[in-house]
Structure 1
Amino acid sequence: MQKLFFNTNGESRDQLRHFVTKLFNSVSHVKYLTISEYGLKFLTHQDHFLKSLSPFYNLIHLEVTTAASHNGGGFHDEVILPCWTVETLFKFLHVSPNLESLIFADGFCDYEAYPSYDWSLDLIPHCLLQHLKSIEFRGCFWNQAEKDLVRLILKNAKVLQTVRITISGQSSYFSKKSNYKKKVLNEIALFPRGSVDCVLHVS
């Protein structure tokens, strides 16, 4: 699996744009890719970055992580994905039309920190609607940001087969609830489904 992590040393904006474009295009042939939030953030340094990227036609599995999770970070090091990650990721997936499997390796921050973010169907690329078969959310806190994202994907992914949700051990909401799996499943059962074959797993 190809992994994209970044470490820059004061490059100018133009140099950074060139570096990011060159690096992404050099791995556009891969089938499996892991990318950190920093990798996605560097894409945003380019205006209309989709125009400069080669299509990732072979990419079928993508994992998105925080930078902290690769540096031994824990809950107190804020091992969470900022909400803007999803918007940038979905833009990137417009050049990854055949993606079948997507993993969010860390939970998301809540809207209380980023109240302007609102997931919408306009964000979702074609591959998630027509090709995505499996999606996994690890380290969830099951906050409103995460619930809304799961709801949006469940409603619109047409061939989705498996959804896996792992609740973080640091989630204070569930720390004293022995029946948290049932509670989460009961909530998700009320979400509209784009795929009647989708199976949910909560742990």
Structure 2
Amino acid sequence: MMLMDNSNDSKKCLDDRTYCRCVVFGWGIDCMSRTNSYSTVVELLKGIRRVQNLSIQYCPIMPTLPIFPNMKHLELKGYWPSRLILRFLECCPELKTLCIDGIAGWFCKEMVPACMLTNLTTIKFSKCEGYKGDMVFLEYVLGNAKALKTLTVTWKNILCIGEELWSQLVLIIPRASSHSEIYFRS
């Protein structure tokens, strides 16, 4: 199912059913009408709160999120700031898989969402560029995800020290899960 916030078809999808998969793209946010855009985003997210798999493009207007009680798989497309990533993780207590394109800085390390302590088994980080925020994010997830089994890092235009040295640095990060494996891709 594909939803767009400004199409009439998306309104038909907004009910209490449990969806297997939902893709949200094409926010089409108009900066001149932030109030209308905000309420549309709120309505859309409340309408899909029972979804099990969600792929969502970064949206600069992100309201208070509803709880997603059935969410097992979350894909965050684009570059997301840490505060929004953490908000999604807080609202997805049953999350098992997190796929994230990129991090727009990582600064919030003090809070650990419940899903990281109990359910999150797979993390895919697909655009790791070697910025400091990328390493801090990897330290955070490896240090807190107690159920983590697999972390896959895909390098993209790695900076300065190169993929091999970055990979070595990631491999020595202390891990909360003794059963986690880390894979690297170019």
Q: Normalising by the residue count of structure 1, what TM-score does the alignment of the two structures yield?
A: 0.72
Q: Deviations over 1:20-57 (max 9, x none)?
A: 1110011112111111111xx221xx4xx14xx2x211
Q: What fraction of aligned residue pairs are identical, expressed as a percent?
A: 23
Pairing of 1:183-202 with structure 2 (within 5 A):
183-202=165-184
Match of 1:56 among 68, 74, 77: 68
Match of 1:8 among 29, 51, 64: 29
Which contiguous aligned blocks of 4+ residues in structure 1 show a shift greater than 6 angstroms? Answer: none
Contact 1:100–1:134 (CA under 8 A) maintained in structure 2:
yes
| Corresponding pairs, count | 164
Contact 1:132–1:157 (CA under 8 A) maintained in structure 2:
yes
Greater relative contact order, per chain length (Cα 8 Å cut-off, separation 6+):
1
2:143 paired residue number: 155
- In terms of fraction of residues, the more helix-rich structure is 1
Structure 2: runs of 5 or more not aligned: 1-20
Q: Are positions 1:126 and 2:114 aligned together? A: yes
Q: Deviations over 1:154-203 (max 9, x none)?
A: 001111000000111x33436xx5xx34x233212321110000001012
CA RMSD of aligned residues (A): 2.1
Distance 1:133 1:141 in 2: 23
Structure 1: runs of 5 or more not aligned: 67-80, 112-116
Q: 1:12 to 1:193 in 2, by over 3 A?
A: same
Q: What's the secondary structure of 1:138's corresponding residue? A: strand
